[in-house]
């Protein structure tokens, strides 16, 4: 896997997280089948997670993130986030 900087963005729903995973996977030149072999998660589930499956097992999502060299950072919302 390539060590490249991934653009950071605020993720507010499963669809955005899935899109980010797909973008990173493709930038690294990895197919869903390749990622399946790396992470030990079926390619069908990888596709579902990339499409924002609401009921995806959180442990598998974290495992996919780690397999792509990503992590989740949780931080408090700013006042601006609470407005409109």
- Please state the domain extents for the chain: 14-75
Q: Is the pLDDT of residue 84 over 80?
A: no
The pTM score is: 0.81
Six-digit token string for 66: 């780690």
**Could you read off the pLDDT of 14-58 as tens digits, one per residue?**
999 999 999 999 999 999 999 999 999 999 999 999 999 999 999
Q: Give the number of other CB atoms < 10 A from CB of residue 50.
A: 23
What tokens does 35 get?
Answer: 């990622």
Query: Which CATH code is given to the segment(s) 14-75?
Result: 1.10.260.40
Minimal CA–CA distance to 40: which of 63, 70, 72? 63
Q: Distance between CA 45 and CA 48 in Å, rounded?
A: 5
């Amino acid at each position: 896997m390539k060590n490249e900087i991934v653009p950071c963005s605020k993720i507010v729903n499963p669809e955005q997280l899935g899109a980010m995973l797909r973008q990173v996977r493709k930038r690294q030149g990895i197919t869903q089948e390749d990622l399946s072999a790396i992470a030990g998660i079926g390619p069908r589930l990888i596709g579902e997670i990339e499409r924002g499956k609401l009921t995806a097992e959180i442990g598998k999502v974290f495992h996919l993130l780690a397999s792509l060299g990503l992590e989740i950072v949780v931080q408090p919302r700013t006042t601006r986030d609470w407005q409109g």
